[in-house]
Amino acid sequence: MDKYIIEGGRRLCGEVEIQSAKNAVLPLLAAAVLTEGRVVIRSCPRISDVLNMVGILGELGCKTKFEEDALCIDGADAANHEIPAALAKELRSSVFLLGSVVSRFGKARIAYPGGCDIGLRPIDLHLNGLRRLGVRITESGGYIECSCERLRGAEVLLDFPSVGATENLLLAAAVAEGTTVIRNAAKEPEIVDLQNFINRMGGRISGAGSAVIVAEGVKTLHGVEYTPISDRIEAGTFLIACAMCGGSVALKNADAVNIASLVHKLREISCKIRSEDDKIYIECSGKRLSPKIVETSPYPGFPTDLQAQMTALACVCEGATVIVENLFETRFKHVPELIRMGADITVRGRSALVRGVPRLHGADVFASDLRGGAALTLAAISAEGLSSVTDLRFTDRGYSSFEYKLRALGARIRRVRV
């Protein structure tokens, strides 16, 4: 197990490059199963979630290798329809493979997926949608088994605009017979990226980014070279880091439009932000006003994946902030750790009242999920004194070279083995 040792209290200045989006790359890797052709994902981050997905592709029979920053996938010899339990339980996004594996092989078997413990995250929407496309599904002994002679297009109305369910249905519908219409679809930028990727492979999908997506099934898909969109959550994390520590930071390969809800909140608390081409510039100095209320909701609302980081920021703002978490039941596990650093936070159900304090102080804290681990790291680099953040396997799931990028901005942070 690794941990960060952090000496806080330094302003951040400089430039960092934002990685390709974790939440875009993972469904693209699942889509690679749909073709026997060669797929190349350029600028592919070597984070643990991606490496776990690459391991699953290897178990399915795909040949994979990294060539510098590009991941090359050859699925010509893929033949296995079983997704290993050990890898599936490490990675929530393994569930994306149901749609593509059953499309490719006519059957799929997977253990219930894992990932961070931030709530129930049931996969009923995935399974009910696949059933609408003609997939027979049985659940027993901790496994999901799917079979289908031929996928057929259908109308699917999602009870909730689930990102994962929308992506799984797109993967299945891409090569289904006929037309699939997904209503109440998720609108996230990563959905648009998956649509663009499949269309570059010869698919015929339209409407991604809106509530209605239409997929005209095609018989086969071919290989492709593709560069995913940048990671809006990583970009948001670094913007919040600058807001907490003060300073001046430029983010390269970042899209301000995709995190407009965060940019609005940061401007509310007196940060100066501008963007041009693929860069975002932020300057923060002087007192930080409370953002008053932050309420998570599906895109284009405030992202749940930035809630923990925003909670950390609210701890050092002037005034009180109400944080409302609408998407996951247990996404305040970072709060007790922030309180150990001097934060004043009261949690009631899915809401937290954060009363700003002049400064956090160093403490030994423990990460229990990906974004909570990032929030604690930001709290530590802004705090007075020495801190440690233990169990980096969580932050390693979503951030590539996190400590190196923070150090390049002036933070005093190093990784050590426990």
Q: Given the residues 44, 62, 116, 315, select the one marked as catalytic.
A: 116
Q: Does domain 22-218 have CATH number 3.40.50.300?
A: no
pLDDT < 70 regions, the chain: 92-93, 114-122
State the Cα torsion 208-118-47-92 to the nearest 10°: -60
Task: Write out pLDDT tens, residues 87-122.
Answer: 877 776 678 789 999 999 999 998 877 544 444 456
Residue 120 has a pLDDT of 40
Domain with CATH 3.65.10.10 in the chain: 2-19+231-417, 22-218
Helix (H) or strand (E) run with residue 241 in it? helix 232-245
Architecture of the 2-19+231-417 domain: Alpha-beta prism (3.65)
As a whole number of angstroms, the distance between CA 92 and CA 81 comes to 18
Residue 296 has a pLDDT of 97
End-to-end CA distance of the chain: 6
SS3 2: strand
Known active-site residue 44: no
Residue 94 has a pLDDT of 78
SS3 303: coil
What count of other Cβ atoms lies within 10 Å of the Cβ of residue 137? 17
Residue 330 has a pLDDT of 75
